[in-house]
Amino acid sequence: VPYWLTYDFPPEVREKLKHQWGGDWKGQAQKWFLLKFTGKEEEINLLGDKSEKPEFGEWKWMSPEQILERAVDFKKPVYKEVFTVFTPHLQ
């Protein structure tokens, strides 16, 4: 996506993050990139070299509609915008 996408955390998420990470986290600004995976699924490694705690515990191929169904409400507008930009490249 050729521009920054942002969202604000709802108050309950801000409070949770304050306890987990310290500070007052307002939200996020993100840049999104579309990549094509040409490897084999067994090559996907969420653990990396195990020197850090992984951000994600599992992965799954999903359609944009499935992603929107599962997304938390405050992130849905960003995901919709990403899919609007990326959809012409997914055909």
80-88 long-range contacts, CB within 8 A, separation 24+ = 81/1, 81/5, 82/1, 82/5, 82/32, 85/1, 85/2, 85/32, 86/1, 86/32, 86/34
For 13-60, what is each residue's pLDDT tens digit? Answer: 999 999 988 888 999 999 999 999 999 999 999 998 989 889 899 999
Output the domain CATH number for residue 79.
3.90.79.10
pLDDT of residue 17: 92
DSSP per residue over 17-71, as a string?
Answer: HHHHH-S---EEEE--------S-GGG--TTTTSSS--S-S------HHHHHHHS
Count of structural domains within the chain: 1
- In the structure, what pLDDT confidence band is assigned to residue 9 with cuts at 50, 70 and 90? very high
Domain region containing 23: 5-34+57-89
Kindly state whether residue 49 falls inside one of the protein's structural domains: no
Kindly state whether residue 11 falls inside one of the protein's structural domains: yes
- pTM (two decimals): 0.82
For 54-83, what is each residue's pLDDT tens digit? Answer: 989 999 999 999 999 999 999 999 999 999
